[in-house]
Homo-oligomer: A and B are copies of this chain.
Amino acid sequence: MLTNRQLLILQVTVDDFIDTALPVGSRQLSKKEEVPFSPATIRNEMADLEEMGFLEKTHTSSGRVPSQKGYRYYVDNMLTPQRISQNEIKQIRSIFEERKLETEQIIRKSAEIISELTNYTSIMLGLDVRKHRVKRFSIVPLSNDSAVAIIVTDSGHVENRVFSIPENFQASDIERMVNLINERLVGVYLHELPAMLEAVTMTVLQQNNGRLNNLFGSLNKALNIEHEDKVYYGGKLQILNQPEFNDVEKARSIMNWMDHVNQIPGIFHMDKKGIQIRIGSENNDLAMEGCSVITASYGISEEQMGSIAIIGPTRMDYRRVVSLLDVMSSDLSKELSRILHGHYG
């Protein structure tokens, strides 16, 4: 257990380092108003904090720098919310001003605004289309042997796939298929589609419409809507402003990580709702050594609709980012719910 003085010194050290990116020395600290102790006292406390693993030195006679454990303790115990100015709230609200109808544009713009406000890179997970429901299914033949299948969801999203038509099928066959599918699949979630299609195929088979069987097979293959997260970036190059990425090697590896973030399983997948902070190696990726990711999810009640991630150095301004994400995610929750459930309902 930490004493009050240790708590204070740890907090001020982390704050100062977040601010300046320079190792924090005892003399430096003692000059601050909040710290009414002499350098020697601070040195003793810092030595203890180092022994406990909250601080570390870059070399024997340098000032102290927070360790990963130090940051963890800081975010777990010392993170008081920061007041967000009216002006900033206004900026966030401006996302919804235009009353755009397309959710994609809202998400795109959100990514940019949050990045501008934080000066870090943001990544937003697009709405999971597989959670939308089929509104209308149709097929447009392109040639004798190919056609495009189109699914419109209740949210206005359109999925389309080209698939090949086995020989000897005619317009009338296709029309029958479209009718069959529309009868059965309207209202079904996109992620249930393959299973439901399978079921429809079975029924068709039983009803001696064996003729259509091939066609369903080909279509089924095309409509296997695989789950590849679509992500939107805001201020992708912001991260390069941080002094810790002055090395091109580091810059490359973090850029690479960002480009493949949608292939990293579970990066956006959060156990609990709300805000989650992953510090340094907690991201389970060598490229992310020295980086933190703050993720916030949004959505109404139990349904999680999407998430926002902010990438920065471990030395990032957790207080500010967390507070901003709080505002942003609750506003997004409201607005997207309105659009998806209220407006279109």
Contacts and interface: CB of A to CB of B under 8 A. Distances in A.
A143 interface: yes
Interface string A160-171: 101110000000
A259 interface: yes
A99 B136 CA distance: 29
Contact of A148 (B148, B152, B236): B152
Contacts of A146: 101, 156, 343-344
Say whether chain A's binding surface is mostly helix, strand, loop, or mixed: mixed
Size class of A's contact patch?
35 or more
Interface string A236-263: 1100100001111001100110010000
Looking at A152, A246, A343, the one whose CB has the most chain B CB atoms below 10 A away is A152
A248 B238 CA distance: 12
A138 interface: yes
A140 interface: yes
Interface centre among A101, A146, A344 (most CB of B within 10 A): A101
Nearest to A240: B252
A282 interface: no
Contact of A251 (B143, B156, B251): B251
Interface in A114-148: 135-136, 138, 140, 142-143, 146, 148
15 contacts: A101-B146, A101-B162, A101-B163, A135-B142, A138-B138, A142-B154, A142-B155, A142-B156, A156-B162, A236-B255, A237-B252, A237-B256, A237-B259, A240-B255, A255-B255
Interface of A: 101-102, 135-136, 138, 140, 142-143, 146, 148, 150, 152, 154-156, 158, 160, 162-164, 236-237, 240, 245-248, 251-252, 255-256, 259, 343-345
